[in-house]
Amino acid sequence: MYRLRPPIATTQDGILITVHVVPDASKTGILVERDGGITMHVNAPPLKGKANREIVRWLSKKLGTSSSRIRIVAGLTSNLKAIAITGMNENGFLEAMGQKQTGLS
């Protein structure tokens, strides 16, 4: 699959992840694909921001950080989202997701 940008990019104050979101899933979870893509299944409908709120809630819990450090910066109404995470690096993100460093950035 062709990707417009790396799934994890380093920014001045953290990382920016590009995520393909699948709403209305049976449970919320994230998968770092073999090709480096990131897919997130969300146990919430894509209505009135419910899926977006679930993404932020789940990531903040999984990463052990405040939800104020996680912002959806692009794709609020799309299945392809760019999510900025302040105070996080690629290794920390991958470790929290149960993945080894893969050199994605």
SS (H, E, C) 41-58: ECCCCCCCCHHHHHHHHH
Question: Is the residue at 85 inside a domain?
Answer: yes
Question: Is the residue at 18 inside a domain?
Answer: yes
* Residue with token string 């893969």: 102
87/76 Cα distance (integer angstroms): 22
Residue 100: its pLDDT value, please? 53
H or E element, residue 70: strand 70-74
Question: Is the residue at 103 inside a domain?
Answer: no
| Number of domains into which the chain is organized | 1
Residue 20, number of CB atoms within 10 A of its CB: 19
Residue 15, domain extent: 8-96
Q: What is the CATH number of the domain that holds 48?
A: 3.30.1200.10
- For 66-103, write each residue's pLDDT tens digit: 999 999 999 999 999 999 999 999 989 988 988 654 44
Share of the chain above pLDDT 90, in %: 71
Residue 4: its pLDDT value, please? 52
pTM for this model (two decimals): 0.86
Question: Is the residue at 40 inside a domain?
Answer: yes
